[in-house]
Amino acid sequence: MADTAHSGTPARPGPMGRMSDLLWRRPGLLILLLILPPALWLGVIYLGALFALLAQSFFSIDPFSGLISYELTLSTYGELFRASNMDIILRTVAMAASVTAAAAIIGFPVAYYAARYARGRWKALFYLGVMLPLWSSYLVKVYSWKLILAKEGILSWLFETLHLTWLLEAYLSLPVVGGNSLSVSWTGTFLVFLYVWLPFMILPIQAALERVPRSMLEASGDLGARPAQTFRHVLLPLALPGVVAGSIFTFSLTLGDYIIPQIVGTSARMIGQAVYQFQGTAGNIPLAAAFAVVPILIMGVYLYVARRMGAFDAL
Amino acid sequence: MHSERASLGLKIAAAAGLLFMHLPILLIFAYAFTTEDKSYQWPPPGLTLKWFGVTWARPDVWEALSLSLRVAAISTVIALILGTLCAAAVARTRFFGREAISLLVILPIALPGIITGISLRSAFNLADIPFSFWTIVLGHATFCVVVVYNNAVARFRRTSGSLVEASMDLGANAFQTFRYVILPNISTALLAGGMLAFALSFDEVIVTTFTAGQQQTLPIWMLEELVRPRQRPVTNVVAMVVVLVTFLPILGAYYLTRGTDTVAGQGK
């Protein structure tokens, strides 16, 4: 009672009231009560599981019995540097980089138009035009490309109707990017990745472009810059954090995906598929865990660089 | 002077980008009506409504759909509670570990899904937890928290703290303040966040493959059909229905938060 008396308000009645008074006087306690359930959930379930996995990467698998030997060792990490495993890592990083670059090139005009020119109804249309593909079912999107790229599918039909089948065949006979048909080629995997992650690139670029004040572009023009110069020297540097922010998504999502290359692509594996197989059919959890550390490390470096470039302000 | 009209090249590039994002989904709709059931032949040799009836009569599709809906509903409820609590704590105050908490919330979705999935699976194995409905929910709720959190934290930041102070000064207790002052202010943001969390859970496949035992959610069912096609026309119909069903919460979330500074759904 004495506490509340000198603050000038009467105490609230009942146990609920007393609790309210206590929380009001001790905001720290309130914060603690608020934060405890989510912190416990994420801390115990998520971080606990994550550390349990990472710890396993320091064990190794006994080559004779196939059982996990629980002695701390770095030999599992050593296995990552074997030629076949290095191939998987480099292949995945190359794919992630090309998907990211292509998404930036295709996504930029969409984001640019939506941010600078679209008004009213068009603005909403552009917004939903990016949001709906972003949120539609991942598997359905992958499935639609299986339909498109199939040998008897719409793309082959299109080439045939235009009498360009020779062009498609010439392309498919190329090494690396080609294959038996588009649905079992690197090009196919690339297209599906590009399609599925493109909206993740557009939204941050658009957010960054919308923050560029119009007066800055007018000032550049008034000072004699041609539109191309304004674009190159004013707009592009200001949009770059948005591009970097978008690239975080496209890069990270491509690094860890194992379903797309499994459904559309060659038999050459990517990191996600390697992790999946090592923990599943091969039963080599330590190597799977070590492989899982690779995208975490790559993304750690990537995020550090992105932070230096100010990408987090554009998220 | 900066011109106010877009050049033709830009218009074409922007329109082409949008078309690239939408045509493949529209193609699914055409395939749902095809009479061809062995291959992905284009153009469809004929159109039929037969496959809708066939799909309707398939118990495995209904079971998968029902499991997906139940998982999404419960995960959304858990995510709503945890996300709102977290947002309330982070939005208005600074405390020790605040940055760590906001990073922790984003982590399950920032790291590749396969890592979240395998971590949970090996943790379940270590703790001898059998796979069940609840292991799926556990995984889904973990990555759904961030969607609710993002929406709620933006709204909390815009809501003036003096409203809460006024309510408390006027004698309302903590519960009344929450019920009559805070909740009406954040309700649309929570509804939007909840819808997005629902959509996210309903569609999730990567984490689910690791946290589900024998049970099939709808995405797992679809994945099976993609890897080993059994009845393609049924898959086509299910794919079309999934597209239509996920559009509803997205449109709903958009209309609920339209006109505010942060529109829901920007960070998936």
Give contacts of A28 with chain B, Cβ < 8 Å: 95
| Dist CA B142 CA B211 (whole Å) | 12
Domain carrying residue B106: 59-257
Task: Give residue-wise pLDDT tens across range A183-236.
Answer: 888 999 999 999 999 999 998 898 888 888 888 888 988 998 888 888 888 888
Q: Give the pLDDT of residue A189.
A: 94
Rounded to the nearest angstrom, the minimum Cα separation between B37 and chain A is 13
Give contacts of B 35-74 with A, CB under 8 A.
39-43
- ipTM metric: 0.83
Inter-chain contact A38–B83, Cβ cutoff 8 Å? yes
| Dist CA B161 CA B213 (whole Å) | 46
Coil/strand/helix, residue B179? helix
Q: Give the pLDDT of residue B34.
A: 83
Cα torsion B7, A192, A313, B4 to 10°: value is 10
Inter-chain contact B123–A141, Cβ cutoff 8 Å? no
Domain carrying residue A256: 79-314
How many domains does the structure of chain A reveal? 1
Q: What CATH number should be reported for the domain holding residue B227?
A: 1.10.3720.10
User: Does residue A50 belong to any structural domain of this protein?
Assistant: no
Residue A1 pLDDT level (bands cut at 50, 70, 90): very low
DSSP per residue, B132-171: -HHHHHHHHHHHHHHHHHHHHHHHHHHS-HHHHHHHHHTT
Cβ-contact B175, B244 below 8 angstroms: no
Give contacts of A 70-109 with B, CB under 8 A.
106-107, 109
Q: Give the pLDDT of residue B1.
A: 40
Q: Which of A49, A131, A218 sits opposite B120 (nearest CB)?
A: A49
Q: Give the pLDDT of residue A9.
A: 61
Give contacts of A89 with chain B, Cβ < 8 Å: none
Backbone angles phi and psi of B34, in degrees to 5: -75, 150
| Dist CA B70 CA B76 (whole Å) | 10
Q: Is A237 on the interface with B (CB under 8 A)?
A: no
- CA dihedral (B136, B209, B119, B97) positive or negative: negative
Cβ-contact B103, B172 below 8 angstroms: no
Give contacts of B171 with chain A, Cβ < 8 Å: 9, 12
Give contacts of A217 with chain B, Cβ < 8 Å: 2
Q: Who's near A304: CB < 8 A, 6+ residues apart?
A: none
Rounded to the nearest angstrom, the minimum Cα separation between B33 and chain A is 14
User: Does residue B3 belong to any structural domain of this protein?
Assistant: no
A69's enclosing H/E stretch is strand A68-69
Backbone angles phi and psi of A74, in degrees to 5: -105, 5
Query: Above 90 in pLDDT, residue A285?
Result: no
Q: Give the pLDDT of residue A288.
A: 87
Q: What CATH number should be reported for the domain holding residue A271?
A: 1.10.3720.10
Give contacts of B256 with chain A, Cβ < 8 Å: none
Q: Give the pLDDT of residue B140.
A: 93
User: Does residue A28 belong to any structural domain of this protein?
Assistant: no
Q: Is A159 on the interface with B (CB under 8 A)?
A: no
Per-residue pLDDT, averaged over B211-219, amounts to 89
Q: Give the pLDDT of residue A207.
A: 85
Rounded to the nearest angstrom, the minimum Cα separation between A144 and chain B is 6
Inter-chain contact A214–B2, Cβ cutoff 8 Å? yes
Rounded to the nearest angstrom, the minimum Cα separation between B56 and chain A is 19
- CA dihedral (A186, A191, A192, A194) positive or negative: positive
Range ranked top by mean pLDDT from A19-33, A49-63, A215-229: A215-229
Inter-chain contact B206–A258, Cβ cutoff 8 Å? yes
β-bridge pairing A68-69 and A60-61: antiparallel
Percent of chain B at pLDDT > 70 equals: 95
Inter-chain contact A41–B246, Cβ cutoff 8 Å? no
DSSP state of A42: I
Task: Give residue-wise pLDDT tens across range A68-122.
Answer: 777 788 888 888 888 888 999 999 999 999 999 999 999 999 999 998 888 888 8
- Of the CA atoms within 13 Å of residue B252, those in its CB half-sphere come to 18
How many domains does the structure of chain B reveal? 1
Q: Give the pLDDT of residue B150.
A: 85
Residue A6 pLDDT level (bands cut at 50, 70, 90): very low
User: Does residue A16 belong to any structural domain of this protein?
Assistant: no
Q: Is B257 on the interface with A (CB under 8 A)?
A: no
Inter-chain contact B222–A143, Cβ cutoff 8 Å? yes
| Dist CA B233 CA B162 (whole Å) | 58
